Amino acid sequence: SEQRQSRIEAIKSAIGLLVRNPQVMLYIDAGHPGWINDLQALIDVLRQVDADRTQGLAVNVSNFQDTPSSINYGLQLGDELGNLHVI
């Protein structure tokens, strides 16, 4: 629990520093549909790190999930987070 909160604070701090530069396009890696099953837990963490301060989320970055599943996964996350852009 303590380690998890420390990681959340570190990510939140990094986002805060990076978004100060108007030339930075920041997307958070949000996993993929074959890896994270509890979307609500992920959404809660993304809210805690202030993901809405970024340009959006990146899904299926380093795996081979099919496109329809990745699109559905990304849309679910983006919708829950206030229509956050997803790539």
Query: Which residues touch 45 (CB under 8 Å, ≥6 apart)?
Result: 8
Angle of the 2-18 helix axis to the 39-48 helix axis, nearest 10: 60
Q: What is the pLDDT of residues 2-53, one digit of tens each?
A: 999 999 999 999 999 999 999 999 999 999 999 988 999 999 999 999 999 9
Q: What is the pLDDT of residues 59-80, one digit of tens each?
A: 999 888 999 999 999 999 999 9
What pLDDT, on a 0 to 100 scale, did the predictor assign at position 64? 86
pTM of the predicted model over 0.85: yes
Q: How far is the C-alpha of 42 from the C-alpha of 80, rounded, in Å? A: 11
| Element containing residue 57 per DSSP (H, E) | strand 56-58
What pLDDT, on a 0 to 100 scale, did the predictor assign at position 37? 85
